[in-house]
Amino acid sequence: MDRLPVVYVRGYAGSTSGIDAQVDDPFYGFNEGATHIRVDGDGDPAYYQFEGPMLRLMTDENYRLLVRGDQQHYLEAADDGSLPQESLWVYRFYDQAATTFAEPPQEGVLARLWSRLHQSVTADGFDIEAAAAGLYDLVMLVRAKTGAPQVFLVAHSMGGLVCRSMIQKVCAGPGRLPAKDIVARLFTYGTPHGGIAFDIGALDWVQETFGPAGADIFSPAKMYGYLTPGKRFGDRPRSRDDWDPQALDPRVLPPSRVFCLIGTDPKDYGPSQVVVGPKSDGLVTIERAYVRGAHRAYVHRSHSGRYGEVNSEEGYQSLRRFLFGRWGATVALRGLPAYPSDMDRRPEADRWPVWQADMRLTIRGLPVVLSEQLAEHWCPIQLNEELARHVDTADTPVPLASTFLMDPGHEAELAAERKEAAHPAAHGGRLRYVLTLKVFKLVVTTSGFLFKDHLEQVPEWADTLIVDVGPNPDGGGLTAWAAWNSEVSGPNDLSDPITEGLPPERRAALSFERDADGQSCRVALPDVAKTLQVLGEQAYLRLTVTDRLDETTPR
């Protein structure tokens, strides 16, 4: 995969005093890491050193950080096409709003006190559309100096909205290049793509009406102005516009080029967790943290800080795979019963079942879970809701997981660039991806959950699908082997590929067929799973692998 320039865009810094503190960091926080991670349950935090996403791209992908005193001036002074494409750039859009780069004014005591009070509640000099226009200029400058046709945008929080304002509005202006021509991929950490909403409605009104320290940019209604061509900040969508802040027009930038990392741990964030509520990362609610149709990963991390999403191995692993993984892989439940069914809440019913699923996605060799949607983290897969979205569809697809697979030869190419000996590929070049599923049934009445016969945290069905993916021995593309953990005798690490110990008829690789989405295959569910009302006899998993180098595949 092409290693294009990476442009980092930081998040909201708050008032002018907060901006002044942040601009002292030459890399706007993307150089920060963490020295330990949380463990589940009541165990002690386990020591683990994560170097930060910027340093890891330098060590893992041979990227270069070119500063030379001032990145902007260094870029401007360089000859066109003279800088490496494998380079990292930090968009320092807050510098113009900081007071630390200007000569301090001569002020009396009262004036100084008033100035400090003013700086603690306002963000003079910052404008999100101006920041988006400046990002476009930086992207064009990086393209010219590196010779790269496109860039990767990596953004935290509000930085993702700056990117979207550039993509959806600035790039649509006269004389501008379309976003799809200059942005290869957009990765966002904890971006409020649907705005920020509070559990306390009055706080929404304060945010939208007064916008302390420029916070009104997070009002869903006000997002319309800086995300819509031809509109101004403050313009509101009309009811007939049917405007959705989380929608991205595929003609502008296909959502398949966007990856949204969603945090699910509010406890490690600041006071905002109290007013935002538990179903969030402490600032951004889970339902508002993604672009519709984009790839997603759910991680039990907070919005920022030492236990934040940017400072996490989980976030970095999704970032690296999204930027440089050759193959996209998705798993969905298919063949489910049509809706409505016996699960439907009928007016005359006094109780009805609600079905939820927990999901974990892990990869062999990583110390973290790549993505997890759990009821205990406030984000299970709501099967009733998923089925209700496809009322008349007998083969209802329910998305379970989306990730990207690295080319087995990628590490060898990187080692050759470093003039190092490449390590022989372990496991025959096969990568192991593991999907754990648990299906729960809750009985609900008009007054809430019915706990009379309920067994908390006891699933109706649970199993783990182990998938080995590797080069096709017959040449070209990938092949895969899959088995449910309940089928495997003994420790699963002793079976490689995972079907090795199964009966002869089950040892063959999966049979892929090419369709409009790429190469797909069916994985049968265990018989016990099919006895569940929500799944049914026809249910199966559909595994789809898309080659991103295939010119016929949308990128």
In this predicted model, what pLDDT tens digit does every residue of 128-157 receive, in sequence order?
Answer: 999 999 999 999 999 999 999 999 999 999
The fold of the 6-324 domain, in CATH, is Rossmann fold (3.40.50)
Q: Determine the residue type at 431.
A: L
Can you tell me which residue has the tokens 């998938």? Answer: 467
Q: What is the amino acid identity at position 112? A: R
User: In terms of C-beta density within 10 A (0-12 exposed, 13-18 middle, 19 or more buried), how is residue 484 classed?
Assistant: middle
Write out pLDDT tens, residues 531-549.
998 999 999 999 998 888 7
**Pick from 35, 228, 44: which is nearest to 129 by CA?**
228
* pLDDT, tens digit (0-9, with 9 covering 90-100), for 43-86: 677 678 899 999 999 999 999 999 888 999 999 999 999 999 99
C-alpha dihedral sign at 341, 343, 345, 348: positive
Tokens of 165: 């304002």
Question: What pLDDT is attached to residue 309?
Answer: 95
CB 246 within 8 A of CB 288: yes
The pLDDT, as a whole number, for residue 477 is 72
C-alpha torsion sign, points 533, 537, 541, 542: negative
pLDDT for 207 equals 42
The span from the CA of 40 to the CA of 21, in Å, is 34
* Whole-structure pTM value: 0.90
Strands (E), 368-477: 371-373, 381-382, 396-405, 431-445, 448-449, 461-471
The pair of three-digit structure tokens given for residue 389, joined into one six-digit string? 């979205």
User: If we measure between CA atoms, which residue out of 462, 270, 282, 272 comes closest to residue 377?
Assistant: 282
Dist. CA 87–CA 73, nearest whole Å: 16
CA distance 31 to 9: 12
How far apart are the two ends of the chain, measured CA to CA in Å?
12
Q: Cα–Cα distance between 290 and 293 in angstroms, integer?
A: 9
Compute CA 338 distance to the chain's CA centroid, rounded to the nearest angstrom: 30
pLDDT value at residue 122: 57
Rounded CA gap, 555 and 552, in Å? Answer: 9
The parts of the chain modelled with pLDDT lower than 50 are 118, 199-213, 551-555
Domain with CATH 3.40.50 in the chain: 6-324
Q: Residue 417 carries which DSSP code?
A: H
Q: Can you name the residues that pair with 464 across neighbouring β-strands?
A: 436
Q: How far apart are CA 485 and CA 465, in angstroms?
A: 6
The pLDDT value recorded for residue 120 is 54
Residue 198 contacts residue 276 (beta carbons within 8 Å)? yes
Helix segments in 78-127, DSSP class H:
109-121
Spatial separation of the C-alpha atoms in residues 537 and 67, rounded to whole Å: 60
Cα-based angle 366, 11, 310 (whole degrees, multiple of 5): 10
pLDDT value at residue 209: 40
